[in-house]
Amino acid sequence: MKLIVYNVRDDEIPFVEKWGRDHQIEVTTTTTTLNTETAAEAAGFDGVSCLQTIPYSKELFAALQRLGIHYLALRNVGTDNIDIQAAKANNVQITNVPAYSPESIAEFAVMMALYLSRKVGYMQQQLQEQHEFHFSPAFMGRLISEQTVGVIGTGRIGRHAIQLFRGLGANVIAYDKYPQKVAGGAFKYVDHLEDIFKQSDIISLHMPATADNFHLFDHEVFEEMKPNAILINTARGTIVNTNDLIFALESGEIAAAGIDTLEDESIDLQDSRSTKKITDADLIKLSMMPNVILTPHSAFHTTESVKNMVNISLNNLKTMAEGGKPADLVD
pLDDT of the residue at 268: 60
Closest of 214, 203, 101, 131 to residue 162, by C-alpha: 203
pLDDT of the residue at 77: 87
- Give the contacts of 52 (CB within 8 A, at least 6 positions apart): 6, 7, 33, 34, 81, 267, 270
Same domain, yes or no: 287 and 315: no
pLDDT of the residue at 273: 61
SS3 312: helix
The answer to whether the CB of 180 falls within 8 A of the CB of 158 is no
Please, is 218 exposed, middle or buried when counting C-beta atoms within 10 Å of its C-beta (0-12, 13-18, 19+)? middle
Same domain, yes or no: 239 and 187: yes
pLDDT of the residue at 276: 73
State the Rg of the chain over Cα: 21
Same domain, yes or no: 212 and 89: no
Give the integer Cα–Cα distance in Å for 202 and 79.
27
Q: Give the helix ranges, DSSP H, for 83-119.
A: 84-89, 102-117
Q: How many domains does the chain have?
A: 2
The answer to whether the CB of 140 falls within 8 A of the CB of 164 is no
pLDDT less than 70: residues of the chain: 183, 266-275
pLDDT of the residue at 299: 95
Same domain, yes or no: 52 and 114: no
Same domain, yes or no: 181 and 244: yes
pLDDT of the residue at 53: 80
Give the integer Cα–Cα distance in Å for 240 and 215.
5
The answer to whether the CB of 231 falls within 8 A of the CB of 203 is yes
Closest of 325, 321, 322, 326 to residue 45, by C-alpha: 321
Same domain, yes or no: 286 and 172: yes
CATH number at residue 247: 3.40.50.720
Other CB atoms within a 10 A radius of the CB of residue 147 amount to 23
Instruction: Give the H or E element holding residue 257.
Output: strand 256-259
Same domain, yes or no: 48 and 190: no
End-to-end CA gap in the chain: 25
pLDDT of the residue at 85: 96
Active site residues: 236, 265, 297
Same domain, yes or no: 125 and 150: yes
Same domain, yes or no: 211 and 168: yes
Host domain of residue 323:
2-100+303-330
Give the integer Cα–Cα distance in Å for 319 and 24.
14
Give the integer Cα–Cα distance in Å for 289 and 252.
12
Same domain, yes or no: 140 and 266: yes
Same domain, yes or no: 66 and 148: no
Same domain, yes or no: 44 and 179: no
SS3 303: helix
pLDDT of the residue at 115: 98
